[in-house]
């Protein structure tokens, strides 16, 4: 696959996955390491693109703020179940109450599987097996059985190191489409960077709407038309975008890592 070109920042709307794209995966979601200068780079991109930069992530927005601080970036959390543009937060709290008993029962069913971590995110449940890869097939089977007890439209997405149960409306494509109808994103070319199965709907939407789709470390088939080899390669590409002709932002020195406590 080809490396992505650097688009015109004045005509681009940038959407960024977090885990596996901006930061490396970790055995526990709270243990990811964030480069010290990454928030400054994202702030520079926000200036370069006239504010048209947003996180589109499976993380909830409280965790996004914990990782990056209050950058004032628009964000879609929990695959779009949470949406933030400006200071107003939209969420689906009623759905979360309806599915909580099913999620809790599934966690009890997996209690004997060492190394499996459950992340309850309101209407979405993420089950992480990165620390215990041998459990992935059993966890997937149990989650598929639990799917029958969830409201109509719920689906299961299997990733590299776990599975997620989420409602029909929770897709990265829907989140990107929502942003693209609103300023400062409206009228620009969508650009989306992601690394996993849950990002594929976003790649497809961006392709169909004349944008730039980029998968990080692609393994197997993907809808993305471009690829970057690593998280470090993503940072390098973002620096080039921040410093593109006509951009006021300037990239900082080599990035340093910080560790989030578990």
Active-site positions?
17
Q: Residue 24: how many CB atoms within 10 A of its CB?
A: 15
Separation of alpha carbons 192 and 175, rounded Å? 11
- What stretch of H or E contains 178? helix 172-180
The answer to whether 73 and 36 are in contact (CB under 8 A) is no
Task: List Cα–Cα distances, 132 to 109, 112, 238, in angstroms.
Answer: 16, 12, 33
The answer to whether 106 and 149 are in contact (CB under 8 A) is no
Pairing of β 212-216 and β 189-194: parallel
Instruction: Quote the tokens at residue 163.
Output: 């599975």
238 alpha carbon, distance to own chain's centre: 16
């Amino acid at each position: 696959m080809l490396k992505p070109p650097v688009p015109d920042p004045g005509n681009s709307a940038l959407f960024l996955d977090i885990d596996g794209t901006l930061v490396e995966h970790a055995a526990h979601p709270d243990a990811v390491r964030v480069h010290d200068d990454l928030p400054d780079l994202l702030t520079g991109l926000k200036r370069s693109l006239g504010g048209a930069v947003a996180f589109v992530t499976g993380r909830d927005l409280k965790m996004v703020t914990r990782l990056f601080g209050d950058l004032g970036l628009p964000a879609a959390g929990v695959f779009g179940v949470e949406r933030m543009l400006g200071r107003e937060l939209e969420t689906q709290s009623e759905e979360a109450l309806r599915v909580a008993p099913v999620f809790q029962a599934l966690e009890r069913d997996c209690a004997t599987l060492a190394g499996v971590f459950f992340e309850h995110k309101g209407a979405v449940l993420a089950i992480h097996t990165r620390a215990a890869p041998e459990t992935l097939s059993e966890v997937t089977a149990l989650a598929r059985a639990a799917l029958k007890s969830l409201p109509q439209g719920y689906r299961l997405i299997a990733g590299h190191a776990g599975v997620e149960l989420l409602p029909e409306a929770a897709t990265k494509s829907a989140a990107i489409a929502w942003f693209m109808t609103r300023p400062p994103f409206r009228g620009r070319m969508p650009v989306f960077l992601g690394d996993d199965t849950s990002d594929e709907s976003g790649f497809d939407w961006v392709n169909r709407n004349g944008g730039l789709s980029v998968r990080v470390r692609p393994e197997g088939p993907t809808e993305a038309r471009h690829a970057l080899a690593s998280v470090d390669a993503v940072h390098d590409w973002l620096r080039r975008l921040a410093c593109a002709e006509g951009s006021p932002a300037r990239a900082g020195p080599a990035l340093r890592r910080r560790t989030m406590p578990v």
